[in-house]
A and B are shown apart, each in its own frame.
Chain A
Amino acid sequence: MEIVTSILSGILFATGIYNLLQKQLLRIIIGTALMSHGAHLFILTMGKLKRGKPPIIVEGVENYVDPLPQALILTSIVISFGVTSFLLVLAYRASRLNGTDNMEELRGNENE
């Protein structure tokens, strides 16, 4: 099972990187979102899968899954959500101001 999820997160990373290298702003942001999905899946995999019941204390259950990676993922999810929302607004403003969403056409004078 860990092999399958590792390959899946690898594919997510690859598609994320491919999208990061595009010219359109929105595709770049989609790329970052895919990469963070890959990273989160990776944390879950690294905590080992299918070891027991969900980490909620119930009478009579012996084996629980590792709760720490879940806490790490939860933290990481909200952080990347915040950054992605900021990035979307930034991309919107930049494209409105410049009249283009192509990264290579964003201009501006530095010596002002």
Chain B
Amino acid sequence: MSNLAVLPILIPLLSGIIAALMNRKQRAVRVFSTIMMLVNLGVTAYIGWYVFQNGPVILETGGWKAPYGIILVGDMLAILLVITTNIIGLACVFFAPKSLSEKQESFYFYTFFFMLISGVSGAFLTGDLFNLFVFFEVLLMASYGLITLGGEKVQFRESIKYVLINLFSSILFVTVVSFLYSVVGTVNMAQIADRVQDVEQKGILTTIGILLFFVFATKAAVFPLYYWLPKSYVVPNPVVSALFGALLTKVGIYSILRMFTIIFVHEVDLTHQLFLWLAALTMVFGVVGALSTNNIKLIVTYNIIPAVGFMLMGIGIFTEVSIAGTVYYLIHDMVVKGALFLLVGAIAYLAGTSDLRKMHGLIHHYPVIGWLFFIACITLAGIPPFSGFIGKILLLKGGLAQDQIFIVIIGLITSLLILFSMIRIFIQGFWGEKDESFQPDKPKARAFAWPIGFLVFFSVFLGVGAEFVYPIVDEISNTLLDPSIYIESVLKE
């Protein structure tokens, strides 16, 4: 039964290879990809149910005992994130044929897509630091392939920056892993956590912790390391942007969450004070960026950054309530960002421009897209009863309980400005006079609406069905704050 943990990585990997082999039959690849995503979602949902019943699934690959081989740890947090990844992946598979051109699709889009899903799932499931680096590289390589798909001038310019910054942070990651190896003599996360308590030089461990945080903060776009993100997420195809915006930064946040709840938990004053400051700055700068532009894709891209700030704030406050808020907000943000990127991609395609000043009165032509966009907007801003509200209320509660008034105020103002920046698109783009000369593309809009509606439904369910989701999240935050549970379940002492 412990072999279950490898399936979310293995199924997409094999699907990607098979999709590459049958690349000449484009229609067959589409059908095959859809079926495989459905299968993968079913399998991960089953694993989620199994983990919920019987505790974490731990696979010692190759039959080597715990600290010697690579360990895959499917605990509830990892499995929940893998399920969310697959939900977004399914929506993107349905959306892809409608938004990609024939040429782009035939250039191995589905292979790269499956490799990305496989890498993200692997990064969520692994229990080994160097293996985490390898899975980071798997998902980054796939994202390099996706970001250059299409090959226009502007894409080349932005993808060079994207590849360089990620290559730099990967090199830094390897260096930091070797630092940690020289201090504790292992790369298995549970064993590192076990040995960190016995190391005398606490100073060097804090240094390594902050270095690791900077590596993951580069991946997750925390201030001051977010400057590569906005434009490189605007230039690729909407499907690709949705995958990136929903998954890539969240892997960085997940890694920070894991590192600072399992390994670096003995000297928290300095690091978590740093997190709170960076979280506040991240929120402010992200929102300022979102308010500064009239390009609808760029507005949504800048909105990734304050969300990352919110999650970092929960890690910085570091109580049970705030960690639960971080986890809840992580899941909500993955789903709603996926939906929003697909929405602005659809709006830009249907209106023929991504400039806000050139569109008005779209609600007369595309009512379904308009209302879906409205729901996604207020979900993102955190209006009850939708899902953003519950994550934020937990975060703010945790902040107030710890007397972190400043960051709570910043968070509330940020929420207001996020709502303002998003609703601006709705007011300027959808309201206004009906443009009689405009030729609407109704069938295309209907085709776009299905996968978007699927994601919006999920994000509404996360809010309205909070009593189903919250107990799971609460249990996750309890296990996260007690690292000995993780260590004992892996090392089985």
A110 touches B148 (CB 8 A): no
B141 touches A97 (CB 8 A): no
B354 within 8 A of A: yes
Return the contact of A20 from the options B144, B164, B353 (Cβ within 8 A).
B164
Instruction: Tell which of B31-39, B119-127, B170-178 binds the partner.
Output: B170-178
Number of contact residues on A: which range applies? 35 or more
Instruction: Tell which of B149-157, B372-380, B406-414 binds the partner.
Output: B149-157
SS of A interface (majority): helix
B40 within 8 A of A: no
Bound CA span A93–B153, Å:
9
Say how far A24's CB is from chain B's closest CB, in angstroms: 12
B174 touches A76 (CB 8 A): yes
Within 8 A of A (CB), among B176-212: 177-179, 181-182, 187
Within 8 A of B (CB), among A20-72: 20, 25, 28, 32, 35-36, 39-40, 42-43, 45-48, 68-69, 72
B157 touches A107 (CB 8 A): yes
B295 within 8 A of A: yes
Bound CA span A72–B177, Å:
10
Residues of A within 8 A of B170 (CB): 79-80, 83
Q: Which residue of A lies closest to B161 (CB)?
A: A103
Bound CA span A25–B159, Å:
13
Bound CA span A91–B154, Å:
13
Q: Map CB proximity to A onto B218-251 as digits: 1 under 8 Å, 0 otherwise.
A: 0000000000000100110000000000000000
B160 touches A91 (CB 8 A): yes
B167 within 8 A of A: yes
Residues of B within 8 A of A14 (CB): none
Return the contact of A80 from the options B156, B171, B175, B181 (Cβ within 8 A).
B171
A110-B171 CB under 8 A given contacts A69-B178, A91-B160? no
B130 touches A72 (CB 8 A): yes
A42 touches B234 (CB 8 A): no
B234 touches A93 (CB 8 A): no
Bound CA span A20–B160, Å:
12
Return the contact of B157 from the options A75, A87, A94, A112 (Cβ within 8 A).
A94
A87 touches B163 (CB 8 A): yes
A110 touches B235 (CB 8 A): yes
B160 touches A90 (CB 8 A): yes
B144 touches A111 (CB 8 A): no
A36 touches B148 (CB 8 A): no
Q: Map CB proximity to B onto A84-112 as digits: 1 under 8 Å, 0 otherwise.
A: 00110011011001100001001111111
A43 touches B134 (CB 8 A): no
A47-B181 CB under 8 A given contacts A36-B171, A39-B175, A110-B235? yes
Bound CA span A108–B155, Å:
8
Say how far A102's CB is from chain B's closest CB, in angstroms: 12
B105 within 8 A of A: no
Bound CA span A47–B180, Å:
11
Say how far B301's CB is from chain A's closest CB, in angstroms: 11
B168 touches A20 (CB 8 A): yes
Bound CA span A73–B152, Å:
35
Bound CA span A46–B151, Å:
41
Bound CA span A91–B156, Å:
8
Bound CA span A35–B164, Å:
12
A111 touches B178 (CB 8 A): no
Bound CA span A90–B191, Å:
40
Say how far A70's CB is from chain B's closest CB, in angstroms: 12
Bound CA span A43–B175, Å:
7
Most chain A CB inside 10 Å of its own CB: which residue of B168, B178, B187: B178
B137 within 8 A of A: yes
Residues of B within 8 A of A80 (CB): 167, 170-171
A83-B168 CB under 8 A given contacts A46-B182, A94-B160? no
Return the contact of B156 from the options A48, A97, A110 (Cβ within 8 A).
A97
Return the contact of B295 from the options A39, A47, A97, A110 (Cβ within 8 A).
A110
A109-B167 CB under 8 A given contacts A42-B178, A69-B178? no
Residues of B within 8 A of A46 (CB): 178-179, 181-182
B171 touches A111 (CB 8 A): no
Return the contact of B153 from the options A48, A103, A108 (Cβ within 8 A).
A108
Return the contact of A28 from the options B141, B151, B164 (Cβ within 8 A).
B164
Residues of B within 8 A of A93 (CB): 151, 156
Say how far B181's CB is from chain A's closest CB, in angstroms: 6
Q: Which residue of A lies closest to B147 (CB)?
A: A90
Return the contact of A83 from the options B157, B163, B235 (Cβ within 8 A).
B163
Bound CA span A79–B157, Å:
23
A82 touches B174 (CB 8 A): no
Bound CA span A90–B167, Å:
14
Say how far B40's CB is from chain A's closest CB, in angstroms: 25
A75-B134 CB under 8 A given contacts A46-B178, A69-B178, A111-B353? yes
Bound CA span A66–B182, Å:
11
Bound CA span A103–B158, Å:
11
Listed from nearest, the 6 A-B pairs whose CB atoms lie closest are A108-B154, A46-B182, A94-B156, A108-B153, A43-B178, A106-B157
- Hey, which bits of chain A sit against chain B, CB under 8 A? 20, 25, 28, 32, 35-36, 39-40, 42-43, 45-48, 68-69, 72, 75-76, 79-80, 82-83, 86-87, 90-91, 93-94, 97-98, 103, 106-112
Q: Given A90-B160, A108-B153, 4 more contacts at CB 8 Å?
A: A43-B175, A72-B174, A75-B130, A111-B355
